[in-house]
Structure 1
Amino acid sequence: MRKIYLFLGIMLVLGACSKDAMKTYDGDNYLQFVKVVTDSSVCSFLAYPNDNELEFPVEVEVIGLPSEREQEYKISVDQEKSTATTANYRLPEKFTMKPGKVRDTCRIAFIKTEEISNVALRLYLKLEPTADFMLGQTECRSAIIYVSNVVAKPNWWTDKVTRDYLGKYSDKKYRLFIQETGKADIDSDNVEELRYYSIIFKHYLQKKKDANEMVREDDGTEMTVALVVG
């Protein structure tokens, strides 16, 4: 009989702990950027030469349960870690998570200025706690975006991209790649996207070669793509 009482006592304690845990989970929602802070993004005007302003998407996500009401979250700019000024960007006045949603895309407006035609500028965003949200994982509380109108090797053109997809980087190749694909920024972990745009650029180079207009690098060598299409 003593064993039965002991068993029932343990079950009651475990049940109480479970309910407390659920209550805590329901009561606390955490917000974070979808990308970790070390995975910076690039907003480039190179693919949009006729535009003087671009909207750049930044995704945030809720770690917790969706709410039945609209919830407000806050994104601010860390001025000390940013080189971009208010002349180069504009943030929305208010950020809200829609009812029933656990992910939202806010759009930061970037403005083409003479400054970004000379150097890439850094915008360092950070989440701040609100009445609706606490802060999520430390590495996802900030986001870095580089805005520019300058041709320079992007962060996504990694050794893997060089080896398996687009081949050796050059400013001329990157400029032509943007011209032919309309893409200045690619997720280097997205194999399908990398392959798709590498094939488009490979076909462009082959078409020029077939027309006796081989595209050459500045040193005179043929411009090539590493991707082998079988």
Structure 2
Amino acid sequence: MRKIYLLLGFILVLGACSKDDIKTYRGDNYLQFVKVVTDSSVCSFLAYPNDNELEFPVEVEVIGLPSDREQEYKISVDQAKSTATTANYRLPDKFTMKPGKVRDTCKITFVKTAEISTVALRLTLKLESTTDFLLGQTECRSAIIYVSNVVAKPNWWTDNVTRNYLGAYSDKKYRLFIQETGKADIDSDNIEELRYNTIIFKHYLQKKKDANEMVREDDGTEMTVALVVG
């Protein structure tokens, strides 16, 4: 008889756990940007000299379960924390998460103006709660994008990039790097992407050197990268 009571008790515990799980998964859904706010992005026209407009991807993700219906979310511009004006960007009229999805990529259109050819402008986006979504983690509720058409050391060119990949930064090197790779913005934490594009640039420098057209920095020294390919 004691074994029967123990078995019944175990079944009741399992039943209680199942009910708790149902409550958890039927709770509110939260939305946030994939990148934390301190990990800003760069939209540069330098890699696209013939384009007057660029679409820039911004990813958002759902913390919760996918829905079987289309859900609407809202992104607006934090004017107080932005230097870009409406002349420099366009936002879609509506943002929606498709049924069955927990991640979406929205496109922000940037416009090449005379202003961004002299200084990098900052666009700060922020998520707002809707009937479908509450706001996610505090550090993922905003996204910062710098848009420019000027050459300046990007945030991703960190000490690690200098020490192990591209070597010392110079405006000339960055301009040529963009020219040869088509990349103005790189995720410095993505080692494969960083290594791949560094090798492309390294091969370009070597090819020029082999043709007796060595690429030099403005001070006359040979332009090199730090990455050693074994």
Q: Is the shorter-chain TM-score for this pair beyond 0.5, marking a shared fold? A: yes
> Which whole-Å CA distance do the structure 2 matches of 1:125 and 1:7 have between them?
55
Deviates more, 1:5-14 or 1:210-219: 5-14
Residues 127-174 of structure 1 deviation map (CA, whole Å, 9 limit, x = unaligned): 111111111111111100000001000011011111111000000000
Alpha-carbon separation, structure 1, partners of 2:199 and 2:183: 13
**Can you give the 5+ residue segments of structure 1 that lack an aligned partner in the other structure?**
none
Q: Which residue of 1 aligns with 2:96?
A: 96
The superposition leaves residues 78-134 of structure 1 with CA deviations (integer Å, 9 ceiling, x where unpaired) of 000001110100000000000111110000000000110111000001111111111
**C-alpha distance in 2 between matches for 1:28 and 1:16:** 21
Which shifted more, 130-139 or 49-58?
Answer: 130-139
Superposition deviation, residue 18 in structure 1: 4.3
3-state SS, counterpart of residue 176 of structure 2: helix
The sequence identity of aligned pairs, in percent, is 90
Single out whichever of 119-128 and 21-30 deviates more from structure 2.
Answer: 21-30
Counterpart check, 1:181 vs 2:143: no
Is the partner of 1:215 in helix, strand or coil?
coil
Secondary structure of 1:108's match?
strand
Provide the rounded CA distance (Å) in 1 between the counterparts of 2:78 and 2:41.
Answer: 16
The DSSP-based 3-state class of the residue aligned with 1:27 is coil
The normalised TM-score by structure 1 is: 0.94
What CA deviation, in whole Å up to 9, does each residue of 1:196-228 have, x standing for no partner? Answer: 111111111111111111111111111001111
Counterpart of 1:207, as a letter, is K
The corresponding residue for 1:71 is 71
Return the TM-score normalized by structure 2.
Answer: 0.94
For the residue of structure 1 that corresponds to 2:74, the secondary structure is strand
- The residue that corresponds to 1:190 in the other structure is 190
Supply the distance in 2 between the matched residues of 1:169 and 1:90 (Cα, whole angstroms): 32
- Indicate the RMSD between aligned Cα atoms, in angstroms: 1.7
- The count of corresponding residues between Structure 1 and Structure 2 is 230
Are 1:52 and 2:29 an aligned pair? no
Partner SS, residue 165 of structure 2:
helix
Question: 5+ residue gaps in structure 2?
Answer: none
2: distance between equivalents of 1:29 and 1:157? 36
Q: Where do 1:162-181 residues align within 5 Å?
A: 162-181=162-181
Supply the AA of the counterpart residue of 2:111: I
Secondary structure of the residue that 1:107 maps to in structure 2?
strand
1:73 positional shift? 0.5
SS across alignment from 1:166: coil
- Equivalent residue letter for 2:42: V
- The aligned residue for residue 161 of structure 2 is 161
